[in-house]
Amino acid sequence: DAGVTQSPTHLIKTRGQQVTLRCSPKSGHDTVSWYQQALGQGPQFIFQYYEEEERQRGNFPDRFSGHQFPNYSSELNVNALLLGDSALYLCASSLVLNTEAFFGQGTRLTVV
């Protein structure tokens, strides 16, 4: 079992650009959640996808959007990047009826 995998591991973007991050959930899991973790802070919930729809959303602007594919993998898109978007972006997968969630290793995004 490969667990939760994320790509890329590191990314450097320029302010104003757009970025797409990818996540493959743990085998058998159907729900994907995305979190943003600023340096020295706990992860902050961005949104959650189940059955290819956004089910829950945290306090993040519309610049943050996502998608879930039929194979349960997911993408996080961020438009008009700001310096403050620099963070570790984490993907967590779970079964919708089970709250136990497993995280990937994250994508370190640096906006310059």
> Given the rule CB under 8 A, which residues bind another protein?
4, 6, 31, 33, 35, 40-45, 48, 50, 55-56, 58, 90, 92, 94, 96, 99-106
Please say whether the beta carbons of 1 and 100 come within 8 A: no
From the list 56, 58, 67, 70, the residue with the least C-alpha distance to 20 is 67
Residue 16 has φ and ψ, to the nearest 5°, of: 95, -20
Minimum separation from the CB atom of position 55 to another protein (A): 6
Counts of helices then strands in the chain (DSSP H, E): 0, 11
Minimum separation from the CB atom of position 74 to another protein (A): 14
> Is the CB of 3 or the CB of 13 nearer to another protein?
3
Minimum separation from the CB atom of position 49 to another protein (A): 10
